[in-house]
Chains A and B, each alone.
Chain A
């Protein structure tokens, strides 16, 4: 059984294996130039945060991820969370929706509404946001392969509710590259998939100007087992690939870059996580300005949402997870996040119960209002240790950028399995460190308790699937088959011609074409992708 070493000569490292010295001094920052590498909060390269006053001026958005059952079920949870003081909505979709499959398809058996809300047609988007003023609340939607389809449904629903698209605020994840690295919810091959990401960026930069068109996500890369440095490097490399593709299309960098956002994990190693966020801002700002010619400050400022690490939560003594989440949230706040989700203690068993979700939100509220962490911008700035670690994170990421370039860039590196191999190696090393006791996990390999508290879990309503399918069948019966066929033909034509498919998808939404019908039509043109089962 592992114990915590108190031997001062014992070698220590960050969670990702970066060696940590017993103390850091001026010497550790000998090559460090605070002028160009640090700056002040709100000033290039934004290492210290993107706003001068940070949380004094504007607190992070408390955006708890929620979604289950039918759209009416999730709508009730949304209203509950808003009543509890949550300040933004974040939508989790079920696996069939994430894979672009309708609720009535045999592959959806047992999964409809299970891990998120089921969405088949535009009518489900109406029900999902019923009674919520979309011009007042910002809405996040976590979906990738079918992101552009769901965004079309959202915009169609908003238009039918007479909401001005220019007033809509929110984020769609729309980050397909990390699906190929880690999360595995891809449908089409990498190149046409990135084409759809770019279509959405282009359309929104013209018509939905306040919308964050992509949330470039390291979260899932980390959850799949990467180190902090890999999370940082792969995420920024993904972001750069989208930028490059938009530029190839002839878009002006400053027309779309300000609406790119990021999504990082908040893991256990407090200082390493803070260094990761600070390094991310610095690297992005420099690359946007120097490589891509960004002219506005907004294009260079890396804004990010953080979520505490789901993979760090344990099934034993689940209440300890509350404490883990609290410290992880502290890292995100010290690192200057713009938006935060704190996980619920029961997530190693089921979707969050209302009680556990409330405690997770309260964790953020205590952090924001009781700890004083919001009183000053970048409170760890200038720390010998944190600045050294930030430097190390920057150079580790740059090494990875070089490795990706050596392989011919992002798409060749995806296709040859580079990212998956790197992540699998780290995941295995992480598990070995826990199994050997080198990494202590309280309750698991140290400080075990003999008693296990019972916690009440959310129960899934087994009638969800049949009710959702019945609803879909009603919608299908009421729509015009002729309109559906015409819209799908138009969609395929746009896809073949490599035109922006968004206008065709908006017509599909209006005509009650389903998510799967849209995805299958595009798959006829783009093909489908399967990665090998290497481990």
Chain B
């Protein structure tokens, strides 16, 4: 391994590459209409999108986020278990020193829970009726 000469600016090889986002379904919830629509919308907007598929464990999602070196992690939860699953996910990311990954949450999320999730460290919450454009603007 060679170090860059002191004083020189290391080129940021990622600055021109597309933002990477992992979209994930955690828990047993099989509702994937929303997450698939968001996946396509973000891809069309120029993101590099990875979708986890259904029924992922917290650990598997955090590991995939790490392996894929993503900028954003979007979790889609429509089963009401977000107050159990999202804090667990944030903790697992923290444990892995991945706090730089921005976590956004989509799904059926009561207003007061959205605020709690933000307070816990989620960057954004998007409920039903959110347009793709709103999500793209938020992430850009």
Contact = CB atoms under 8 A, between A and B. Distances in A.
Interface in B21-51: 27-33, 35-37, 39-41, 51
Contacts of B127: 315, 348
B33 A535 contact: no
A533 B55 CA distance: 11
Interface in A208-232: 223-225
A457 B114 CA distance: 14
B36 A535 contact: yes
A449 B111 CA distance: 17
Contact of B108 (A98, A348, A533): A348
Contact of A315 (B51, B129, B132): B129
Contacts of A108: 28
Contacts of A185: 30
Interface stretch (A110-118, A330-338, A394-402): A110-118
B110 A444 contact: no
A535 B79 CA distance: 21
A528 to B, nearest CB: 11
A112 to B, nearest CB: 10
A275 interface: no
A351 interface: yes
A350 B108 contact: yes
A313 B131 contact: no
Contacts of A313: 128
B25 to A, nearest CB: 9
Interface in B119-140: 127-129, 131-133
A131 to B, nearest CB: 28
Interface of B: 27-33, 35-37, 39-41, 51-54, 79-81, 83-85, 108-111, 127-129, 131-133
B79 A95 contact: yes
10 contacts: A110-B27, A110-B81, A110-B84, A114-B80, A184-B31, A224-B32, A311-B33, A424-B40, A532-B53, A535-B32
Contact of A349 (B39, B40, B110, B132): B110
Contacts of A533: 51-54
A435 B133 contact: yes
Interface in A304-349: 311, 313-316, 347-349
Counting contact residues on chain A (CB < 8 A from B), the size range is 35 or more
Interface stretch (A9-17, A20-28, A426-434): A426-434
Given A184-B54, A350-B80, 12 more contacts: A101-B28, A108-B28, A115-B80, A184-B31, A315-B128, A348-B129, A349-B109, A349-B111, A351-B80, A424-B36, A441-B129, A533-B54
A424 B33 CA distance: 7
Tell which of B27, B31, B36 has the most Cβ of chain A within 10 Å. Answer: B36
A108 B94 CA distance: 24
A110 B30 contact: no
Interface string A72-98: 000000000000000000000001101
Tell which of B32, B40, B79, B111 has the most Cβ of chain A within 10 Å. Answer: B32
A229 B71 CA distance: 40
A107 interface: yes
Contacts of A445: 131
A237 B47 CA distance: 37
B49 to A, nearest CB: 8
Given A114-B79, A427-B36, A431-B41, A348 B28 contact: no
A460 interface: yes
A109 B132 CA distance: 31
Nearest to B130: A315
Contacts of A349: 108-111
A183 interface: yes
A99 interface: yes
A225 B54 CA distance: 17
Contacts of A530: 53
Contact of B128 (A99, A184, A314): A314
A535 B53 CA distance: 9
A460 B112 CA distance: 14
A427 B41 CA distance: 11
Given A110-B85, A111-B27, A350 B110 contact: yes
Contacts of B132: 431, 435
Contact of B39 (A114, A223, A347, A535): A535
B50 to A, nearest CB: 9
Interface in A278-296: none
